[in-house]
Amino acid sequence: MIEPIRWTDEGVVMIDQTRLPAEETYVTCRNYSEVAQAIRAMIVRGAPAIGVAAAMGVAIGVAQAAPADLDAQVARISAELRSTRPTAVNLFWAIDRMNRLYRTIRHLPWEEIRDRLIAEARLVREEDIEINNAIGRHGAPLVPDGKTVLTHCNAGALATAGYGTALGVVRAAVAAGKDIDVFADETRPFLQGARLTVWELQRDGIKATLITDNMAGHFLHSGRIGCVVVGADRIARNGDVANKIGTYQVAVLAKENGVPFYVAAPVSTLDLSLPDGERIPIEERGAAEVTHVFGVRVAPEGTAVRNPAFDITPSRYVTAIITERGVARAPFEESLRDLAGSPA
Amino acid sequence: MIEPIRWTDEGVVMIDQTRLPAEETYVTCRNYSEVAQAIRAMIVRGAPAIGVAAAMGVAIGVAQAAPADLDAQVARISAELRSTRPTAVNLFWAIDRMNRLYRTIRHLPWEEIRDRLIAEARLVREEDIEINNAIGRHGAPLVPDGKTVLTHCNAGALATAGYGTALGVVRAAVAAGKDIDVFADETRPFLQGARLTVWELQRDGIKATLITDNMAGHFLHSGRIGCVVVGADRIARNGDVANKIGTYQVAVLAKENGVPFYVAAPVSTLDLSLPDGERIPIEERGAAEVTHVFGVRVAPEGTAVRNPAFDITPSRYVTAIITERGVARAPFEESLRDLAGSPA
């Protein structure tokens, strides 16, 4: 089983997702600034995995803090971790969760605060694996048997603490005996599909076929795709979904061709404070991700680039949102509110 | 001005489109087999440019043939050139044109046959440049002023004998004083957009911004794209368009967002023998184009790949087809027949 992120006595250990699939190497972040830098550089990526990393970042920051003036230090640690990436709400959710706990235990001795925060960060990780198993259980019945699942980016074990959201649904469908295979969009510019999704499905013996992003429409039109399943970085109150750039066009093409489009994400990805997707901040990343591939230049010197890392899929293209608490369908304003309010 | 292909005493000289933009090198094909290999390896690519190359391939083949048994040699030369790539009809159109001429002059002395075929191949090239200028004149009025043109792949000077089809429309709109810029899809796997479209627009001082293929929908949704203009490899009687893989999804996303979708192509790209696009053969190319970028592996060993080089855009997504003889609109069956039958 792939362990993308875990707590050790030496620090927060992460599989380096920038090196896969060529090398399976692990990075140890020994303080909260190294955790923040790992999130920025996408050594760890995927909304749920970023949440786990941020929780562990708060814990390691407090573990190394001076016992005096802890309030200010927790605020500084949290602010640095919050500044790493803007779109995935799980980052803020995890930091808020750690801060809420801190406020209830701040009167305790420092050693106890430290131990409780470390335990909480480890719990965030363990819960995430359980959540993904539950997402898989809810999603597996939706996957048509004998067809292909199309996925975009990597919403797999590597994007989470383990098992995956979208790929958790695939794994659960395979475990349930369904005869399916996966088409993986390569997902430029960072190539999460080519590098990560194919890699982890190969390890599990699930048949995966790699396509470039511009082939998705062709295969959705061909009739072989039974459904699309993707992850999410943030879901607004009305069901609009922020996810990896390119998700929007896959959703439009799925609808145009009568193929169900499913989003698999934990309840922590819901941001009910936002009425719709237009308010979700979209990260714009550097030009070199587009002009270079693994350091090799693919465009002329001086090329102007746009590089939004995410896009918004309006909820009218979303067939259903699969969470650990059940499956939400339109009208999403109601169904998501009900799921958010229901017991975990 | 870019001269992608020309006839010289040494052979057929082509800019090596596999090396751009890193190196501007030229390849000299000294016999018809080298021309065929250059088409196969995409040293020359783009439907009109392939047509010019094939015409020159027939001419160089005859120029080097033994005067005896010329019929059989022309047949063999033509068969090898026909076998290079299946989708772009301009290849077959050019070979047919050379064969038609050959049949009317086959009774002449060999030297005269040779000179007439060489002259014809050079004429195909010169006509192509004139055709593209005419496409530009017809297309420029359709381009909204003050907005961005989105294009996919490279239907520019490099895809033709010069000036380009889709980029000919862009050049003509700029020459007409319109304030436009271009968004270029990078066009995986071969990266014609990143490598070729950006390169040739830079040389002309036309502002170009590179995006990955999965960003096209995001920007079509954003309101900044005034129209899409692409080329074509083959157009069926009903207006269905075969073009570079990914064109179909750009067309669907353009329609979904109310953005006009234009196809710019010479009349030689029409294949009125085919009732619709379903009958157009789609070339499937090797896996390494997807698993590697400039020789660098981007997916795990043993990755299964699909690599269709083209897709079919049903005519219901096509706003208009811009040819050298005018602009065809729905119903295309009528408008294309009228254009095909009208004087050049």
Angle at A83 between CA A81 and CA A84, to 5 degrees: 75
Q: Decide: A169 and A137 in contact? Cβ < 8 Å.
A: no
- Provide φ and ψ at B244, rounded to 5°: -45, 140
Other C-beta atoms lying within 10 Å of the C-beta of residue B343: 4
CB contacts under 8 A, B 220-259 vs A, are 221, 245-246, 248-249, 252-253, 256
Chain B contact for A119 (CB, 8 A cutoff): no
Task: In whole angstroms, give the CA distance from residue B339 to residue B320.
Answer: 13
Which candidate in A9, A128, A213, A233 is catalytic? A233
> Which pLDDT score, from 0 to 100, does residue A1 have?
78
Residue among B16, B29, B30, B99 at smallest CA distance from B58: B99
Residue among B130, B123, B249, B143 at smallest CA distance from B206: B143
Minimum Cα–Cα distance from B187: chain A residue:
A214
Chain A contact for B215 (CB, 8 A cutoff): yes
- Which of B209, B248, B253 is nearest residue A218 as measured by Cβ atoms? B248
Considering only CB atoms, which chain A residues are within 8 Å of B245? 212, 214-215, 218
Query: Taking CB atoms and an 8 Å limit, are B293 and A297 in contact across chains?
Result: no
Cis peptide bond prior to A308, omega within 30° of 0: no
Its ipTM equals 0.96
Q: Decide: A233 and A223 in contact? Cβ < 8 Å.
A: no
Residue among A205, A169, A192 at smallest CA distance from A310: A192
Assess whether pLDDT exceeds 70 at residue A344: no
B163-189: average pLDDT: 98
Task: In whole angstroms, give the CA distance from residue A343 to residue A320.
Answer: 20
Q: What is the mean pLDDT of chain A?
A: 97
Residue among B118, B37, B89 at smallest CA distance from B271: B89
A53-65: average pLDDT: 97
Residue among A332, A336, A321 at smallest CA distance from A135: A321
Residue among B53, B212, B101, B313 at smallest CA distance from A308: B212
- A·B CB contacts under 8 A: 186
Task: In whole angstroms, give the CA distance from residue A228 to residue A263.
Answer: 8
> Which pLDDT score, from 0 to 100, does residue B344 have?
61
Query: Taking CB atoms and an 8 Å limit, are A245 and B215 in contact across chains?
Result: yes
Task: In whole angstroms, give the CA distance from residue A39 to residue A110.
Answer: 27
A62-87: average pLDDT: 95
B83-91: average pLDDT: 96
DSSP string, A171-236: HHHHHTT---EEEEE--TTTTHIIIIIHHHHHHTT--EEEE-GGGHHHHHHHT-EEEEEE--SEEE
Percent of chain B with pLDDT over 90: 97
pLDDT digits 0-9 by tens, B113-168:
999 999 999 999 999 999 999 999 999 999 999 999 999 999 999 999 999 999 99
Q: What is the dihedral of CA B118, B120, B121, B124, to 10 degrees?
A: 160
For residue B236, give both structure tokens: 């069926």
Chain A contact for B342 (CB, 8 A cutoff): no
Assess whether pLDDT exceeds 70 at residue B180: yes
Query: Taking CB atoms and an 8 Å limit, are B214 and A187 in contact across chains?
Result: yes
Task: In whole angstroms, give the CA distance from residue B67 to residue B69.
Answer: 7
Query: Taking CB atoms and an 8 Å limit, are A303 and B198 in contact across chains?
Result: yes
Q: What is the mean pLDDT of chain B?
A: 97
**What's the farthest any 2 CA atoms get from each other in chain B?**
64
pTM strictly above 0.90: yes
pLDDT digits 0-9 by tens, A143-190:
999 999 999 999 999 999 999 999 999 999 999 999 999 999 999 999
Considering only CB atoms, which chain B residues are within 8 Å of A302? 202
Quote the minimal CA–CA distance from B195 to chain A in Å.
Answer: 5
Task: In whole angstroms, give the CA distance from residue B72 to residue B77.
Answer: 9
pLDDT digits 0-9 by tens, B185-224:
999 999 999 999 999 999 999 999 999 999 999 999 999 9
Query: Taking CB atoms and an 8 Å limit, are A214 and B214 in contact across chains?
Result: yes
pLDDT digits 0-9 by tens, B217-251:
999 999 999 999 999 999 999 999 999 999 999 99
Residue A127 is which amino acid?
E
| CB-facing half-sphere around the CA of B315: CA atoms within 13 A | 22
Active site residue B233: yes
Residue B333 is which amino acid?
E
- Which of B195, B252, B298 is nearest residue A299 as measured by Cβ atoms? B195
Q: Tell me which H or E stretch contains A7.
A: strand A5-8
Assess whether pLDDT exceeds 80 at residue A343: no
Considering only CB atoms, which chain A residues are within 8 Å of B208? 303-304
